C-alpha cells in the first residue's frame, strides 16, 4: 500500500540555508573608472513621517566591483581606511559594501566627497596604520590604493556622520523608552542613513506615536514583523499518506515537491543567470570557500534561487537574489544532512518528539508515552498552552503522530528547552506497529534515549538501553585531555585499541574548528554500540575530543544500524585482488636492525596509519586476528569521488608494527 511505501522509504538530503548580513562588513576592490558613484547632492531627501526601512533606498555606487559577494577586505587595506576614517571623525559617515554593484566598498562623508576620494586612492599602507587585526599582517604591497587592481572604493556624500547617527540612535531610544511599542531591537542602517527600529506586533497607532516622540522622524525607519495567528481547531498537519509527492522543505529552503527535493537537477543542467552567479562564487578565491561538491538546484523563481551542495555527510547551501536587473549572491551555510520535513501552517513551529525511554510501549498497550520539546529559541519556557496536538493517524502498519508549537513572537534566548510528557491514546492495542513522526516525509520512526539532551545525535537512529562494557570504558560525558595533529587521530585515540570486530565511522558535521561523527561498533559478543563523538581544534591548532555520548542498541535496532551502514556503502566490496586496481599503492615496512621497540597494541599501529584519512565515512573490519598478527580491511566512501579500499597487516615483533599496507582507489565510473 502507498502508506507503507512512504513509511519504509529512506531519503536524506543535505540542505540548509542562512542569510548573510553584509551591512557592517567591508570589502575593497578596484574600479574601472575614477568618477563619483553618487553625486554629492543625490542623497535622498528626508521623507515625511516614519518610513519602513525597505522603502528607504540604499546609497548605491555606480562603479562595478571585482570581488565576490562574500570576500572580506585585505587587512592591510582595511587598516588604511580605518586610519583615514579616524582622522576625519566629524565628517566620516560610515562604510559598507554595495553587493548589488558587485562588491564595491563605499565610504560616506558629510562634506564634498571628491577630496576624500583623491586622498584615499593616493594613500599608501603604513606600519602606523590602525591595525584591523592584532597582530597586523606584514605589508607586502605598499602601492597607493589607487594603483591596486584589487581595490574598488567609492566615496559618497551622506546626511549624518557616524557619530551623529549613533547620537541620534541614543536620542530615539530615550524618547520611546518604557512605551509598549513591541520594540525587539534597534540599530543604525548606515547605507540608508537611518536609525532602524525592529518592532514585533506593534499596537494600533504605534508608528504614528513613535513619529511624534522621536526628535527627527526622517532619520528613523522601522522594520515591522506581525506574527501570523495559528490555525484554529485541532492540529491537522500530517499529509495524506497516500499522497506520494507532498510539499517538503529543509531548513532555509522554500517548500518544493518531495520528488524535487530528493532528486534535484544539477546546476550543469540549468541555464539561468542565478547559476552563473553561483559558478562565479565557486571560482572566486579568498574568503571562506564554498563547498566543492555536487551543486544542485532546489528552487528558482522570479526573485530568488536556492542551491544545495550535496554529500554523504554534510551540506552546503547558497541563496541568490534578484535585485533590480541583476542577480546577487545573498548568503550560504553548511551543516549536517537534513531529512525533508512537512511545512507547517503560518503561526506554528516544529517540536522534537521522542519515545519516553522510561516507559517504552509494549504490543498490548493502548497508549504511548512521549516526550516533546520546542525546537526554536524560547528562553527555556515550558510550552504549556502553546503546545498544539497531538494529531494521531493510525493505519494497519503504523501510528503516525504530529505536534507543533505556537512560537514566541520576536527574539528569545536559547538556553535549552525543557521536555514535556505527553500520552497519546490509541484506538486499539499497538501490536506490531511502530510510532512515527508524521512531520518528516517519509515519516520518521520515533526513538527513545536515556538522556533526552542527546536526542539530536540519536533521534533518527535507534532506541538506546543502558549498560555496556564497551560504553563503560568511555564515560558518556567524556572529554579528551590529549591533543592530536588531526581530528581523525583524536577520534581513533578515543576509540581505544581498535580491537573490536567492526567499526563504522561517519562524519555528520564538519565546520571551522570542529568535527563530529556517528560511530557504530560491533563488539566480540555481537552487541552493537552507537555513539556521537565531537572534536574541536585548540588555539594551537591541535585537536581534542570535546564530547562523546554512547549507548547500547536494542536487539531490534541492531539490524537497523547495520542496514543503514550497508545502504551508505552500497554494494561496494573490496576487490579480491588489488593487482589491477587503478591508483593502487603498496607499502612494505622494513624492520630496522637492531629491532626498535614497536607500539603497545595493534590498534595504536592502525591509528597512526589512519590519522590523516580525509574522508567522510569509512569502516574498519578485523578480517583476521591472532596473538602475533592482525589484518584489517578498510572501506572508505567519499562520494562523489569514488571508493577507497585498504588492507593492512600488523605483526607483533618486539611490540606491534605495520608490516604491509595496500590501498586501491576506484573512481565513480569504474564502480
3-state SS string for 139-192: CCCCCCHHHCCCECEEEEECCCCHHHHHHHHHHHHHHHCCCCCCEEEEEEEHHH
| Residue 667 confidence class, pLDDT cut points 50, 70, 90 | low
Q: What is the mean pLDDT of residues 474-484?
A: 56
Cα torsion 334, 338, 340, 342: sign? negative
Q: C-alpha grid cell for residue 646?
A: 585498504
User: Which of 9-18, 61-70, 610-619, 645-654: highest mean pLDDT?
Assistant: 61-70
Higher pLDDT pick, 146 / 16: 146
| Residue 578 confidence class, pLDDT cut points 50, 70, 90 | low
pLDDT recorded at residue 368: 95
| Residue 31 confidence class, pLDDT cut points 50, 70, 90 | very low
| Residue 115 confidence class, pLDDT cut points 50, 70, 90 | very high
In the DSSP assignment, the letter for residue 416 is -
Query: Facing residues of 317 across strands?
Result: 308, 333
pLDDT surpassing 90 at residue 444 = no
| Residue 594 confidence class, pLDDT cut points 50, 70, 90 | low
407-416, 504-513, 595-604: the lowest-pLDDT one: 504-513
Residue with cell 540599530: 187
| Residue 71 confidence class, pLDDT cut points 50, 70, 90 | confident
Q: Are 159 and 43 in contact (CB under 8 A)?
A: yes
Q: How far is CA 497 from CA 492, 615, 660, in A?
A: 8, 21, 19
User: Which of 107-111, 224-228, 293-297: highest mean pLDDT?
Assistant: 107-111
Phi, psi of 126 (to 5 degrees): -140, 145
pLDDT recorded at residue 453: 39
pLDDT surpassing 90 at residue 4 = no
Q: Are 522 and 500 in contact (CB under 8 A)?
A: yes
Which has the closest alpha carbon to 107: 187, 21, 36? 36
pLDDT recorded at residue 458: 37
Q: C-alpha grid cell for residue 208?
A: 504614528
**Angle at CA of residue 114, ends 112 and 120, nearest 5°:** 115
Q: Could you tell me how many residues make up the chain?
A: 671
How many C-beta atoms surround the C-beta of residue 389 within 10 A?
22
| Residue 242 confidence class, pLDDT cut points 50, 70, 90 | confident
Higher pLDDT pick, 547 / 158: 158
Residue 520 belongs to what H/E stretch? Answer: strand 514-522
Q: Are 49 and 211 in contact (CB under 8 A)?
A: yes
- Chain segment 92-101, per-residue pLDDT in tens: 999 998 988 8
Average pLDDT, the chain: 79
Q: What is the mean pLDDT of residues 5-34?
A: 32
Higher pLDDT pick, 181 / 636: 181
Higher pLDDT pick, 265 / 541: 265
Q: C-alpha grid cell for residue 481?
A: 585531555
What percentage of the chain exceeds 90 in pLDDT?
39
Query: Facing residues of 256 across strands?
Result: 248
pLDDT recorded at residue 510: 64
Integer Cα distance of 80 and 126 in angstroms:
8
Q: Per-residue b/e over 235-267, b at no fewer than 16 CB within 10 Å?
A: bebbbebeeeebbbbbebbebbebebbeebeeb
**What topology does CATH give the domain 464-569?**
Nuclear Transport Factor 2; Chain: A, (3.10.450)
pLDDT recorded at residue 465: 46
Residue with cell 548589488: 100
Alpha-carbon Rg of the chain, whole angstroms? Answer: 30
Q: How far is CA 114 from CA 37, 145, 622, 644, in A?
A: 11, 15, 73, 61
Count H helices and E strands in the chain, helices first.
12, 30
In the DSSP assignment, the letter for residue 380 is T
Phi, psi of 445 (to 5 degrees): -65, 135
pLDDT surpassing 90 at residue 191 = yes
Q: Is the bond preceding residue 390 a cis peptide, omega within 30 degrees?
A: yes
Higher pLDDT pick, 43 / 537: 537
Higher pLDDT pick, 272 / 656: 272
pLDDT surpassing 70 at residue 468 = no
Q: What is the mean pLDDT of residues 168-181?
A: 91
- Chain segment 371-386, per-residue pLDDT in tens: 999 998 888 899 999 9
Strands (E), 290-418: 294-300, 304-310, 315-323, 326-335, 351-355, 367-374, 387-394, 398-405
pLDDT surpassing 60 at residue 414 = yes
Residues 595, 600, 603, 604, Cα dihedral to 10°: -80
| Residue 288 confidence class, pLDDT cut points 50, 70, 90 | low
Q: Are 366 and 330 in contact (CB under 8 A)?
A: no
H helix runs in 408-454, sequence order: none
Q: C-alpha grid cell for residue 546?
A: 570535546
Q: C-alpha grid cell for residue 559?
A: 539490524
166-175, 247-256, 378-387, 479-488: the lowest-pLDDT one: 479-488
Spatial CB neighbours of 218, under 8 Å, sequence gap ≥ 6: 46, 47, 48, 51
Packing angle, helices 113-122 and 75-86, rounded to 10: 140
Q: What is the mean pLDDT of residues 121-136?
A: 91
- Chain segment 634-665, per-residue pLDDT in tens: 877 653 344 566 777 777 777 888 877 777 76
In the DSSP assignment, the letter for residue 289 is P
pLDDT recorded at residue 429: 95
Higher pLDDT pick, 318 / 557: 318
CATH number of 578-670: 3.10.450.630
Which has the closest alpha carbon to 435: 393, 387, 373? 393
Integer Cα distance of 516 and 494 in angstroms:
13
Integer Cα distance of 298 and 305 in angstroms:
8
pLDDT surpassing 70 at residue 556 = no
Q: C-alpha grid cell for residue 165?
A: 547617527
pLDDT recorded at residue 560: 64
Integer Cα distance of 9 and 259 in angstroms:
12
pLDDT surpassing 60 at residue 555 = no
Integer Cα distance of 372 and 459 in angstroms:
12
Q: Are strands 543-553 and 464-465 parallel, antiparallel or unpaired?
A: antiparallel
Integer Cα distance of 400 and 436 in angstroms:
5
pLDDT surpassing 90 at residue 217 = yes
| C-alpha 664: how far from chain center | 33
| C-alpha 125: how far from chain center | 37
* DSSP of 506-563: EEEEEETTEEEEEEEEE-TTS-EEEEEEEEEE-TTS-EEEEEEEEEEEPHHHHHHHHH
Q: Are 304 and 322 in contact (CB under 8 A)?
A: yes
pLDDT recorded at residue 614: 59
Upper half-sphere CA count for residue 200 (Cβ side, 13 Å) = 12
Q: Is 530 exposed, middle or buried (0-12, 13-18, 19+ CB in 10 A)?
A: buried
Residue 656 belongs to what H/E stretch? Answer: strand 656-666
**Domains 464-569 and 578-670 alike in fold:** yes
pLDDT recorded at residue 48: 47
Domain boundaries, the chain: 2-16+250-335, 351-446, 464-569, 578-670
pLDDT recorded at residue 338: 73
Q: C-alpha grid cell for residue 97?
A: 559594501
In the DSSP assignment, the letter for residue 599 is B
Integer Cα distance of 131 and 86 in angstroms:
12
H helix runs in 251-371, sequence order: 258-262, 273-282
pLDDT surpassing 60 at residue 473 = no
pTM exceeding the 0.85 threshold for the entire prediction: no
Amino acid at each position: 500500500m502507498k502508506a507503507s511505501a512512504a513509511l519504509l522509504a529512506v531519503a536524506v538530503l543535505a540542505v540548509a540555508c542562512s542569510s548573510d548580513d553584509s551591512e557592517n562588513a567591508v570589502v575593497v576592490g578596484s574600479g574601472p573608472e575614477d568618477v563619483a558613484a553618487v553625486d554629492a547632492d543625490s542623497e535622498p531627501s528626508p521623507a515625511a513621517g516614519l518610513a519602513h526601512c525597505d522603502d528607504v533606498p540604499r546609497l548605491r555606487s555606480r562603479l562595478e566591483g571585482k570581488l565576490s559577494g562574500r570576500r572580506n577586505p585585505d587587512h592591510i587595506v582595511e587598516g588604511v581606511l580605518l586610519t583615514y576614517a579616524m582622522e576625519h571623525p566629524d565628517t566620516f559617515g560610515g562604510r559598507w559594501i554595495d553587493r548589488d554593484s558587485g562588491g564595491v566598498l563605499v565610504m560616506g562623508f558629510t562634506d564634498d566627497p571628491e577630496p576624500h576620494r583623491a586622498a584615499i586612492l593616493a594613500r599608501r599602507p603604513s606600519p602606523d596604520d590602525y591595525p584591523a587585526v592584532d597582530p597586523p599582517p606584514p605589508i607586502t604591497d605598499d602601492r597607493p590604493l589607487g594603483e591596486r587592481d584589487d581595490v574598488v572604493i567609492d566615496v559618497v556624500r551622506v546626511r549624518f556622520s557616524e557619530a551623529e547617527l549613533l547620537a541620534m540612535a541614543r536620542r530615539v531610544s530615550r524618547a520611546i523608552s518604557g512605551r509598549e511599542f513591541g520594540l525587539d531591537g534597534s540599530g543604525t542602517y548606515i547605507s540608508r542613513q537611518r536609525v532602524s527600529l525592529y518592532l514585533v506586533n506593534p499596537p494600533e497607532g504605534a508608528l504614528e506615536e513613535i513619529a511624534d516622540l522621536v526628535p527627527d522622524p526622517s532619520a528613523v525607519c522601522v522594520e515591522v514583523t506581525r506574527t501570523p495567528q495559528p490555525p484554529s481547531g485541532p492540529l491537522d498537519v500530517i499529509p495524506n499518506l497516500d499522497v506520494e509527492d507532498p510539499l517538503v522543505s529543509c531548513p532555509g529552503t522554500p517548500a518544493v515537491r518531495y520528488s524535487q527535493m530528493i532528486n534535484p537537477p544539477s546546476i550543469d543542467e540549468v541555464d539561468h543567470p542565478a547559476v552563473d552567479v553561483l559558478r562565479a562564487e565557486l571560482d572566486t578565491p579568498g574568503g571562506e570557500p564554498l563547498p566543492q561538491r555536487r551543486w544542485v538546484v532546489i528552487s528558482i523563481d522570479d526573485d530568488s534561487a536556492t542551491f544545495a551542495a550535496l554529500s554523504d555527510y554534510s551540506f552546503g547551501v547558497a541563496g541568490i537574489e534578484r535585485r533590480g536587473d541583476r542577480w546577487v549572491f545573498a548568503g550560504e551555510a553548511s551543516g549536517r544532512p537534513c531529512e525533508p520535513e512537512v511545512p507547517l501552517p503560518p503561526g506554528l513551529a516544529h517540536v522534537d518528539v521522542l519515545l519516553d525511554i522510561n516507559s517504552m510501549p509494549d504490543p498490548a498497550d493502548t497508549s504511548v508515552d512521549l516526550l516533546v520539546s520546542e525546537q526554536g529559541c524560547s528562553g527555556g519556557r515550558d510550552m504549556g498552552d502553546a503546545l498544539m496536538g497531538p494529531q494521531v493517524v493510525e493505519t494497519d502498519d503504523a501510528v503516525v503522530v504530529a505536534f507543533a508549537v505556537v512560537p514566541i513572537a520576536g527574539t528569545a534566548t536559547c538556553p535549552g528547552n525543557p521536555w514535556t510528557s505527553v500520552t497519546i491514546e490509541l484506538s486499539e492495542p499497538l501490536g506490531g506497529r511502530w510510532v512515527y513522526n508524521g512531520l518528516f516525509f517519509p515519516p520518521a520512526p520515533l526513538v527513545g534515549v536515556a538522556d533526552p539532551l542527546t536526542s539530536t545525535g540519536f533521534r533518527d537512529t535507534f532506541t538506546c538501553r543502558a549498560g555496556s562494557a564497551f560504553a563503560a570504558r568511555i564515560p558518556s560525558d567524556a572529554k579528551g585531555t590529549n591533543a592530536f595533529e588531526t581530528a581523525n587521530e583524536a577520534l581513533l585515540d578515543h576509540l581505544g585499541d581498535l580491537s573490536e570486530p567492526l567499526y563504522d565511522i561517519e562524519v555528520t558535521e564538519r565546520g571551522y574548528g570542529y568535527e563530529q561523527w556517528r560511530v557504530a561498533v560491533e563488539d566480540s559478543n555481537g552487541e552493537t554500540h552507537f555513539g556521537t563523538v565531537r572534536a574541536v581544534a585548540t588555539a594551537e591548532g591541535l585537536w581534542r575530543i570535546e564530547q562523546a555520548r554512547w549507548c547500547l542498541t536494542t536487539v531490534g535496532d541492531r539490524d537497523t544500524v547495520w542496514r543503514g551502514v550497508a545502504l551508505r556503502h552500497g554494494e561496494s566490496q573490496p576487490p579480491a585482488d588489488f593487482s589491477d586496481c587503478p591508483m593502487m599503492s603498496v607499502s612494505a615496512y622494513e624492520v630496522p636492525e637492531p629491532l626498535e621497540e614497536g607500539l603497545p597494541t595493534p590498534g595504536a599501529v592502525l591509528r597512526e596509519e589512519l590519522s590523516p584519512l580525509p574522508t567522510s565515512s569509512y569502516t574498519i573490519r578485523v578480517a583476521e586476528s591472532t596473538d602475533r598478527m592482525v589484518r584489517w580491511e578498510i572501506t572508505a566512501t567519499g562520494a562523489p569521488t569514488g571508493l577507497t579500499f585498504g588492507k593492512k597487516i600488523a605483526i607483533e615483533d618486539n611490540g606491534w608494527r605495520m608490516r604491509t599496507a595496500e590501498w586501491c582507489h576506484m573512481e565513480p565510473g569504474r564502480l
